[in-house]
Structure 1
Amino acid sequence: MHFTVHMHLRSITTTRPINLSITRRNMSTGLPTSQKALYLPAIHQPFVVKTIPVKQPSAGQVLIRNEAVALNPIDWKVQAAVVKREVSEFPRILGFDGAGIVVGVGEGVTNVKVGENVLYEGNAGGPEGGTEHAAFQQYTIIPAPFVGKIPSNITFDQAATLPVGLTTAAVGLYQDRIQLGGAGLLAPWLDGGRGKYANQPILIIGAAASIGQSAVMLAKLSGFSPIITTSSPHNFAHLKSLGADYNLDRNENLDGIEAYSKLPLNIIYDAVGSAETQTAAQRVLSPGGTLVSALPSSLPEAEKDVSKHFVFSYGSVHFPNHAEFSTKLYQSLYGLLESGDIKPNNVEYASGGLNAIDGQLQRLKRGEVGGKKIVVRPSETVV
């Protein structure tokens, strides 16, 4: 396949030096022939850094040099075998959130060019997943429609905090009522969607999580009011800044929530997705309303209220049913970020490149990180 390459050594949004000493360069293309990647050898095993080839993009694909990658709970859950459906083969590279510079484009790519700063959601598992599409490495290949440009007011570290959380929130609220779809609301980036749900209440459970923060911002764009959230009290001020009207302590009982709205509660976004939060949400949801959950239903069949709709928001742009939806979302993302309508998560930078990920995932597992996304820079990786 024909492809274009160019080494853009200085990014618009950062002046960090790029570490090229650990790769051998392909003199015909300007790209390195090898890179550092973080492998999970098997479940319950620690991650290890390996040297692997840098693949070239095929038609319709983009090659990205990763400047920042962010960690997600799903990464340690795969490692600990808490979630097995995401990955079926080992050894494997994980990582779902990334941002970097386009260094190669395959034939037919027109939406991004070599040298542009972009963010993306990696694909580390499932039928379409392969090691070249995951984020925990120095170079990643992504289908061009699922690559979003980064405006100059957003750094790579900030951009890397967004993709998975934003996609999961957006799919759950605005994707059609299809398999692994959403509530079928009109998205605010489409004609007539901005402010469409004015004066309608929404409850967002676990709003301080990355998914929850994105749900708050999207609800604000859609005009929902009041926006009611649950979180730890130390996150209240930040959630207010994103658009929340009322903040409830996550340990509070939800039964008195009608005091915060004069209208029935027809939609709830549960960014936690536990049996406890799903049960509480179903109890306060109005008949005919929709409960969107970031995880599949944990409710026993006997306890499900058939008068209320349950939606599991599968937040992968790579899921075939989400292709058209995700393309429109990523086309709109540049403007939403530039205007500040969508803001990145707070960043917690961890030094050490890919070497730091294993230890940082253990912190996530122990619940030591809240209201922030841990970000590492693959160029800092040493062996």
Structure 2
Amino acid sequence: MIQIQDKFLNIPLIQGGMGVGVSLSSLAGNVAKCGGMGVISAAHPGYNFEGFRKDPTATSCRAIKYHIQRAKEIAEGKGLIGVNIMVAGNGYEELVKASVEGGCDAIISGAGLPLDLPKYAKGKALLAPIVSSGKAARLIAKVWEKRYQYTPDFVVIEGSKAGGHLGFKKEDLLAGTCQKLEDILEDVKKELAPFQEKFKKSIPIFVAGGIDCGKKIAEFIKRGASGVQIATPFIATYECDASQEFKDMVINATKEDIELVKSPTGFPGRAIVNEFVKKTRNRGNVCMKSCLDCMIPCNPSDTPYCISEALIQSVSGNVNNGLVFVGTQAADIHCMKHVHELIQELMQEMEDNL
């Protein structure tokens, strides 16, 4: 059992947030039902709700509350329900407040530095930044201490093998010169130690990126991690909220099908090569029929494509005209499973290697 402040996980597993619409209440609720932390993505959870095109932020705030409640009903009082909220997205404050009002157990925040997260949710939910270096962990902890007399309740480290937006330079990702996940873990542990001492509380660390088996989970626990965050393997589950066409893209992907893409957020991302990705290589404005004003760094006049539209298309089943974010381990996924089957396999192999 893993203790995170005043809350508990029966298994050392967080399901990574995947948007748009890949991890909503069905996936998150079923992961929590198995004793882990199920995570709902706050990236346009209301994409299929009435009123979304007219007011995306307000609709997504309404949707996040709905999905938190539904996930908790599915979980039947087990595990925890978290929400993943991108700093780079517009409506950040509103989504954080809606998540708290909806009764989430935790807020996990990345795609930028969540320097003001405690301002909106301190004492109302467990708060966790996503970092890719010890330096980032130290900066966030220092700012939280100075501004809010608070320190992270837990931390998620995303390494270079993760899916979606990555906190590394594209040239380092291509060259394979990014810092190894195990080395980042050591740095983050070292940087957080003074804050654990100062605040007299443990700060559990969960590692993510390329973790697809229980043996790897055991290895990181032996290195001092409290647990892991896993996302991509959960796409190929019956309970995942994405369309079957989206899931089939992951099941059928090979190593050669996965590459880094340029995202309008300014971060590199890892995705499956399809017709849409091929188009973005050659020309801009691939999917700019309308602007949802979703990303702070995005300028509609020069963005290569609308990332929200691209993600909405793919999760809805139009996979050749959208973006399918995955981690490196997608090439090793070949069949559908139920969430409880996947978790049981991971936990059993973990136990066998501890």
TM over 0.5: no
Normalising by structure 1, what TM-score?
0.30
Q: Which has the larger radius of gyration?
A: 1
Normalising by structure 2, what TM-score?
0.32
